[in-house]
Amino acid sequence: MFFSKKSEYYKGILVKADQSLHDQVANIIKSLKTKNYNLLDFGAGEGAFSQRMLDHGYKVTSIDLEDKNFKAKTDFYKIDINSLSLDDKFISKHINFFDIVVSPEVIEHIENHFHFVKI
């Protein structure tokens, strides 16, 4: 039997991850005392986690396949993360740029988990 999760929002932005996962991941990152670091939200969905981390003082860049429902106030790039190569412009602009990379809304949707982690 499948259970549907109760919809969860952060500042009106739909959280597409498991219930409380954003809180858990944010708490781990905040415990590292890494404010003002550059954070990449890889597969950001509507941007709930991106906005949360921006509100906590991180410099956030968000990537997702869809841009029409993205609502966070972060830098956003529309990129297909299932492709075998990410956008070369994005990579060259951001090489060695990010201090933290997260993906709390994506891993279960990725076709090739090993490739995803390798990226």
The answer to whether residues 86 and 119 touch, using CB atoms and an 8 Å cutoff, is yes
How confident is the model over 74-110, as pLDDT tens digits?
999 998 876 656 667 888 888 899 999 999 888 667 7
The full set of domain ranges for the chain reads: 9-118
The more confidently predicted of residues 108 and 57 is 57
Output the pTM of the full model. Answer: 0.85
- Across 106-115, average pLDDT: 71
Buried b (16+ CB within 10 A) or exposed e, 29-57: beeeeeeebebbbbbbbbbbbbbbbbeee
Alpha-carbon distances of 55 from 27, 48, 60, rounded to whole Å: 13, 11, 10
CATH of domain 9-118: 3.40.50.150
Q: What is the average pLDDT score of the chain?
A: 86
Per-residue confidence (pLDDT) for residue 2, from 0 to 100: 55
